[in-house]
A = this chain, B = another copy of it.
Amino acid sequence: MLACPDRPGLIATVSGFLAEAGLNIVDVDQHSTAAGRFFMRMVFDSPGTAERDALEERFAREIAAPFEMDHSFNESAIRKRVVVMVSREDHCLSDLLWRRRNDHLGGDIVAVISNHEDLRSEVEAVGLPFHHVPVSRETKEEAERRALELIGDVDLLVLARYMQILSPTFLEALGTPAINIHHSFLPAFVGADPYARAHERGVKLIGATAHYVTAELDAGPIIDQDVVRVGHEDEVADLVRIGRDVERLVLARAVTAHLEDRVLLDGGRTVVF
């Protein structure tokens, strides 16, 4: 995956480099923005561990540097490690665990952390470690430190209806992307109680948004969103119930896209191949 200023010859240059190295390209997605930025994802046969380092080094020097590319090589055979944080509602977690059981996720959940004990048995029943890290106003700093230790070295943090706001300090120390599911069609209803506010406004569709977590609340790059129709007969509790089916699907799609290396950042927007 790579992103760089758009200019003529990028596709031919990169595919020529790989062809010369004897690597067959099996998939290519590319996108150029009106603002002049170029994004590309190429899937090619692995060169083998031995030659991989040399190849990457040569690519960095001969292609990436002169073209001012941000790029990364990802070995699809190496499965990404994921930690899930959750509070009391189990719909997103249950859905991720079901996909894990059917190997639909494209990565491995290695642990679940929660600020409540409610979902311990569900997590332990499938053989995953469950860590209870309670959070109060006074203990938040300490709790985030503890969570960071437990998370350790992973590729992705998933907030599957984790109802605490993570501090900028935490996010910086985390050093890995985090995906959150917000239970509204962002940018509508940023912040608390989106279903109550959706009901009050009388919207005819409710939604869910999966986005990368940034320091600003519910303002990170959107990976996926979806909506479902509701009516005047639906009270707030109905919206909560109906919304669960959208939240879990949207989060699962976003997590899978990320774990399959199909998401690139374009400033505050995403390119999802």
Residues on A lying within 8 angstroms of B by beta carbon are 8-9, 11-13, 15-16, 18-19, 24-28, 30-34, 90-91, 94-95, 98, 101-102, 104, 125, 185-189, 200-205, 207, 221-227, 231-233, 235, 241, 244-245, 249, 266, 268-272
Contacts and interface: CB of A to CB of B under 8 A. Distances in A.
B31 A28 contact: no
Given A102-B241, A187-B201, A204-B272, 12 more contacts: A9-B19, A9-B24, A12-B15, A12-B16, A15-B15, A27-B30, A27-B32, A95-B98, A102-B244, A200-B269, A201-B268, A202-B222
A33 B234 CA distance: 9
A174 to B, nearest CB: 22
Given A11-B28, A269-B202, A98 B102 contact: no
13 contacts: A11-B25, A27-B32, A33-B235, A90-B101, A185-B205, A202-B222, A204-B225, A204-B272, A205-B227, A227-B227, A232-B266, A232-B271, A232-B272
Contacts of A222: 201-204
B202 A31 contact: no
A7 B175 CA distance: 40
Contacts of A231: 272
Residue of A12, A95, A245, A271 with highest tally of chain B CB at under 10 A: A12
B245 A221 contact: no
A27 B205 CA distance: 23
A16 B91 CA distance: 44
A29 to B, nearest CB: 8
A147 B98 CA distance: 27
Contacts of A202: 221-222, 266, 268-270
A244 B241 CA distance: 20
A232 B31 contact: yes
Contacts of A244: 102
